[in-house]
């Protein structure tokens, strides 16, 4: 039996987009929009995606890496305030092994020429999983894709 452990960290990312607040918010909220930017690895194969973006709703995203490992993301939306913020809890799994559990808050504010978005993730890595910064890196890549999407490139950014 493997040793049980928890490793807590917080990730905070602030981004400024040259796009209206409603466009940035809807990029998260509308399934067809989110699918355009959410992946952080363009060469991975999409297996399943479902999004019910509302308080009490859920999201499921499963992809297969080039080595065949299935990356699963299961989220539960706790609080959604249109064009202001949303809070959600989510699990990340590699194949059938849960590697982390997180609580995330995403807030939005209009600013001259666009939108300020602040993302805060409180994450617990489980049972010796060594993240080595890959969560932050993957999230940053996803937000780079979000920028491409909301600032005018409606095609898949990756």
- Of 116, 158, 102, the residue nearest 15 (C-alpha): 116
Instruction: Give the pLDDT score at 45.
Output: 85
Model pLDDT, residue 155:
46
Give, for all 158 residues of the chain, the pLDDT tens digit. Answer: 368 999 999 999 999 999 999 999 999 999 999 988 986 666 778 889 999 999 999 999 998 988 999 999 999 999 999 999 999 999 999 999 999 999 999 999 999 999 999 999 999 999 989 888 888 998 999 999 999 999 985 444 43
What's the token pair of residue 87?
A: 């809070």
pLDDT value of residue 41 = 67
93, 71 contact by CB (below 8 A): yes
Domains and CATH numbers, the chain: 6-150 (3.30.530.20)
Among 48, 57, 86, 21, CA closest to 39: 48
């Amino acid at each position: 039996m493997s040793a049980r452990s928890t490793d807590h960290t917080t990730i905070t990312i602030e981004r400024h987009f040259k796009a209206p607040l409603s466009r940035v918010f809807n990029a998260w909220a509308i399934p067809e929009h989110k699918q355009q930017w959410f992946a952080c690895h363009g060469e991975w194969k999409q297996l399943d995606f479902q999004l019910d973006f509302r308080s009490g709703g859920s999201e499921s995203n499963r992809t297969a890496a080039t080595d065949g490992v299935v990356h699963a993301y299961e989220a539960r939306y706790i609080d959604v305030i249109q064009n202001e913020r949303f809070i959600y809890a989510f699990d990340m799994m590699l194949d059938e092994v849960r590697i982390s559990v997180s609580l995330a808050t995403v807030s939005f504010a209009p600013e001259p020429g666009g939108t300020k978005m602040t993302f805060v993730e409180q994450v617990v890595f489980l049972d010796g999983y060594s993240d080595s910064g890959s969560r932050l890196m993957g999230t940053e890549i996803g937000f780079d894709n979000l920028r491409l999407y909301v600032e005018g490139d409606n095609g898949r950014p990756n």
